[in-house]
Structure formats: structure tokens, C-alpha cells
Amino acid sequence: MKSLHRRKLISASAILAVAALTVATVPANAFSPKYEVGVNGSEIKLGITLPMTGAASPGYNKVPGAMKAYFDYVNANGGVNGRKITLVVKDDAYVPTQAVSKTNELILKDRVFALVAPLGTANNKAVAASVNPGRRGVPVLFVNTGFSGFADQKKYPTTYALLPSYVMEAKIMAEYIKDNFAGKNIGLVYQDDDFGTDALAGFKQAGVKFATTVGYASGSQGAATAAGWVTKLKAANCDVVILFGVSSATAAGLGTAAALKYAPQWILGSVGGDATTIKASGVPAGVLYNAVGASFLPATTDTTDEYVSLFSSIYAKAVPGSAFDNNVLVGMNSAFVTVQALKAAGGNLTRKSLLAAIDAKGSTFASAALLPLNYSATSHVGYNGYWFGKYSPTGDLKPDGGKYTLYTTDSGTGAVVKSTYKRPAMPAKGLPN
């Protein structure tokens, strides 16, 4: 019996010793002090976390492919100040714990220079609290969420918002309703979480009165639940219905309403308004016809737009067979803005010089959007407005009257105003100078 004990002790200590050695021999990541982390003479390493698998992934999992397509295009044309961009993609399955550990891997193991377009509100919040890129000085460029809080420089000093916030979207939508559907019965379907409550706050501030509201639990959207929404909206005699949810909820709502011969004037929020994703989930294009939608980028089918035509040809070559939709356009546009920020930071690229460059020159960056960026030393707000349009018989969003009319506002109490901004011409070959 005693020998067993000793053996146990010995084996336990042996295991411990081996464990200690293994962990201790992990090589310290050698990097030349000449360059900033994630940068060397020939490469800039960037990282992204987003759901590539799981229920939240459809649509969004095309974003990294789109970004890589544009980065590769830039790399093939000489790169950024002679350096090629590589993008390290990590799947967080839309779980905050995963987002934190994957971001840690990106920063501490892959040693990326900056994070670009990480997706999700709760995920970005957890990353900010735990990994704390702000304290580490790691730039978090162009987070892919419309939560207004990320523009708060005190809380997130190295984070830059890109998308207009949900509050802005709701306020602008309210203005559009006032102009076009005054006196009608309005219904709202929203996701019962921060995404929806942000929107509710915006609508409330704009003074929109709803005949009824349906707040569905995230993840419950489907044919059966949507039948319930439609029944409620019908019972309240809604003439105009806003679907302010994710793509799957928009698709479920539209499809089910069509089956129940309910055809109000639809208004689709930008998050769930991507026509390709809606059609891919089984909604006939005809159902989308005449629905109102919003975007800050040009319509994805607008081939007369120089950005759309260039981006779609780059994407078609890089990812053959994949449809060029709004998720792809958003991804490529984020990559485009990223390249400009890197260029603006100059040949002696450091994290500090990148942040300084965005603060100093960010508002002059070219981008595919029909709005300017609002970066400055005191603002990390990206785009701040939308244009409205209607879906064509083939289900493509086209601006009202063939002309983009843009409205801008802020996430606070500011008014909604018509924008007079004229987008400058695209840099030659879509390569920022």
C-alpha cells in the first residue's frame, strides 16, 4: 500500500515537472524592436473575430472573404507602403467567452498589429473589458456593430465605430415615416435585446407612436413565431410595419406575411435588409417588392457606381460563385478604409501613428459610402446617416427616384438633417494614394 502512495507522489510530481517544463519552454516571441508588433519590412498582420459557424453566422461569414479579396488586390498592386496585408480570421461562434480567448490569441500569439471589424456588441464589450485593447494600445478599427456606445472615447480609447448607430437609424427612419406615411398605423417588430432597445430609444425620441410592437426573443424567429407576429400586426390594423431585426427574422416575417395575404408597407432595417440573404432563405423576390430599405453604401446592383463595379469584379475573381451582396460590400469597404488608415500612418507604421492618422485625416478618407466619416481627435463616430429606397421587382434595393437622398443625425438628441455631401471620386484603380 505504501509503495502505491510513493509511486503516486512520484508520478504526480513527475507530471507537474513535465507540465512546468513544457509551459516554461514556450519560446518567447522574438520580434525585432525596429518595428511595431505585427509589422515588419514586408508585412502588416491584422486580425478579426466574428461568427463563422453557428446560428449567427449566415451572411456575416462572407465578410472575411470579402476583406481578404480587397487586401489581396492591394497586395498584388504593391501593398501598403511596400508591405503586404495579411488577415488572421478567428471564429468566435458569437460567444463572448470565445471572442475574448480568440482576441487574446490574435494579440498575444499571432501578434497582430490591429483588430479590424470585430463583430457583435456583447462580444466587443467583453473584449474591451477583459483583453482591454485600449490599455494595450491595440487599435480596434471599425467594429462591425451599430451599438452607439463604442464611439465613446473614454471607455474605448482605441476603438473606432464605422456603421451608423441603431439610434441614428431609428431616428432617420422616423423622419422618413413622418414625410411619407403620416397618419398611418405603424407596427414594429424588433429584437428584444440591446439591438432592439437601442432602436426603440431612437423611435421614442423621434416621437413615433406605434399601434403595436412585437419584441421577439433573439433566436426564436421562425415560421411558427412569425405567424404570431403577423396575427398581432393584423389585429392592430397596421398599414406600415417596420422589421427591425436580423436577416432571419426579416425573412420569416416577410415570408409568413405573404402566406397569410398580409401586405402592409414594409420598412426593413439595415441589419436584416440584405436582399441576397433574405432571398437565400426562401423568400420570393416578389414579396420584397416595394418594401422600403435603408443603406449608407450605394446599392449593390448599382453597376454605374465606380466602387460597386470595381469591388464586385475583384470579389468575383477572388471568391468565384459567391453573390456580391451588402455583407460583401460592407466587408470590402471596411478593408478599403483600413488600407487608407494604414497608408495615412506612413512608412514608419506604429499603433500610435495609426491612431493619430485616423484622428487627423480620418474625416477625409475616401470610402464607398455616400457619407463622410466623422473621425477627429474628439470623435470616433464613423458614418452617421442613411438613404432610403425601395426594393425592385427582382428584390434589389434602389434609391427613391433613382437618386440617393441622404439624411444624417447623431446618437443623441440632435435633429435629422438632409446631407449635402458629395462623395469624391474613387482613387485611381481603387487604390488609395
Partner 1 sequence: MFEFINTLLIGITSGAIYSLMALALVLVWRSTRVVNFAQAGQALASTYFGFEAMKHIDNFWIALLIAMIGGAILAAFIEMVFMRLLLKHTSSGAIASVAPIIATLGLLEVIRALITLKWGGADVLIKAPLSNTGFSIGTHTLVFSPMKLAIIAVVVFLLSILSILFQKTNIGLSLRASAFSPELARLAGIRVDLVRTFGWALSGATGAVAGMLLVVNGNGSLSPASIEFSLLLISGFIAAVVGGLDSLLGTVIGGMILGLSTAFVLMYISDSLFFIAPFIILLLALIIRPQGILGKKGGRRA
Partner 2 sequence: MRKINNKISNKTRIVIFLLLGFVIFLISNRVDELRVYQGASVAVYVVGIASIILLTGYSGQVSLGQGALLGVGGYAAALARNHWHASVPLTFAIAILAAAAAGALLGMAAARLSGPYLAGTTLALAVGLPSLANQFSILGGEQGLFFDVGAPPQSLGADFTQYKWFFWIAALATLIVIFWLQNVMRSRYGRTWKAIRGSDVAAELAGINIARSKVLAFTLSAGVAGLAGALLAMTIGTVSPSAFPLALSFSLLTGAVLSGVTTLGGVILGAVTLVAIPEIVASVVDRLGASEGVATNLPSLLVGALLILTVIVLPNGPVEQFRSKQRAKVKKSH
Task: Determine the distance from the C-alpha atom of residue 90 to the mean position of all C-alpha atoms in its chain, rounded to a whole number.
Answer: 15
How far lies 157's CA from each of 226, 263, 356, 361, in Å? 41, 46, 12, 17
Regarding 153 and contact with partner 1 (CB under 8 A), the answer is: no
Closest by Cα among 253, 207, 208 to 233? 253
Q: Rounded to the nearest whole angstrom, what is the least distance from the CB of residue 2 to partner 2 in the complex?
A: 9
Contact status: 224 vs partner 1 (CB under 8 A):
yes
CA–CA distance, 247 with 354 (Å, rounded to integer): 34
Over its C-alpha atoms, the chain yields an Rg (Å, rounded) of 24
Contact of residue 260 among partner 1, partner 2, none (CB under 5-8 Å per partner type): partner 1
Within 48-87, which residues bind partner 1 (CB under 8 A)? 53-55, 57-58, 61
Q: Are 59 and 247 in contact (CB under 8 A)?
A: yes
Write the single-letter amino acid at 260. Answer: L
**What is the footprint of partner 1 within residues 243-262 (CB under 8 A)?**
248, 251-252, 255, 258-262
Q: What's the CA gap between 227 and 252, in Å, rounded?
A: 9
The contact pattern for partner 2, residues 102-141, with x = CB under 8 A and - = no contact, is: --xx--xx-----------xxx-xx-xxx-x---------
Q: What is the nearest approach in angstroms of partner 1 to the Cβ of residue 229?
A: 7
| Cβ proximity to partner 2, 18 vs 259, nearer residue | 18
Counting contacts by CB under 8 A, is residue 192 touching partner 1? yes
Is 31 a binding residue for partner 2 by CB under 8 A? The answer is no
Dihedral, CA of residue 218, residue 268, residue 254 and residue 258, to nearest 10:
150
Residue 101 site contact among partner 2, partner 1, none (CB < 5 to 8 Å, cut-off depends on kind)? partner 2
Of 179-187, 216-224, 406-414, 423-431, the window that binds partner 1 (rule: CB under 8 A) is 216-224
Which of residues 91 and 175 has its CB atom nearest to partner 1 in the complex?
A: 91
Number of C-alpha atoms within 13 angstroms, CB side, residue 205?
A: 22
Q: Which does 262 bind (CB under 5 to 8 A by kind): partner 2, partner 1, none?
A: partner 1
Task: By CB under 8 A, tell whether 20 contacts partner 2.
Answer: yes
* Least Å from the CB of residue 390 to partner 1: 22
| Residue 185 touches partner 1, criterion: CB under 8 A | no
What is the contact mask toward partner 2 in residues 306 to 345, using x (rule: CB under 8 A)?
----------------------------------------
For residue 144, the 8-state DSSP code is B
For residue 222, the 8-state DSSP code is S
Residue 278, class by beta-carbon neighbours within 10 Å (0-12 exposed, 13-18 middle, 19+ buried)? Answer: buried
Q: How many Å apart are CA 224 and CA 96, to the nearest integer?
A: 29
Distance CA 272, CA 221 (A): 12
User: Is residue 30 close enough to count as binding partner 2 by CB under 8 A?
Assistant: no
* Residue 28 DSSP SS3: coil
Measured from the CB of residue 274, what is the shortest distance to partner 1 in angstroms?
Answer: 13
- The grid cell for 324 is 456580391
Nearer to partner 2, 189 or 292 (CB): 189
Beta-sheet pairing, 292-295 with 385-391:
antiparallel
Interface pick for partner 2 out of 39, 50, 52, 151 (rule CB under 8 A):
52
Intra-chain end-to-end CA distance of the chain, in Å: 78
Q: How far is the CB of 313 from partner 2 (least distance, A)?
A: 23
Cα 208 from Cα 9, distance rounded (Å): 72
Pairing mode, if any, of strands 385-391 and 406-408? antiparallel
Contact between 252 and 221 under an 8 Å Cβ cutoff? The reply is yes
Q: How many CA atoms lie within 13 A of 24 on its CB side?
A: 6
Sketch the per residue contact string, 165 through 204, with partner 2: x for CB under 8 A, - otherwise: ---------------------------xxxx-x-------
- Which of partner 1, partner 2, none does residue 9 bind (CB under 5 to 8 Å by kind)? partner 2
CA angle centred on 286, ends 236 and 231, rounded to 5°: 20
Using CB under 8 A as the criterion, which residues of the chain lie in contact with partner 2 when the complex forms? 1, 3-5, 7, 9, 12-13, 16, 19-20, 23-24, 26, 28-29, 52-53, 89, 91, 93-97, 100-101, 104-105, 108-109, 121-123, 125-126, 128-130, 132, 147, 192-195, 197, 217-218
Q: Which residues bind partner 1 (CB under 8 A)?
A: 53-55, 57-58, 61, 192, 214-217, 219-225, 227-229, 231-232, 235, 248, 251-252, 255, 258-262, 280-283
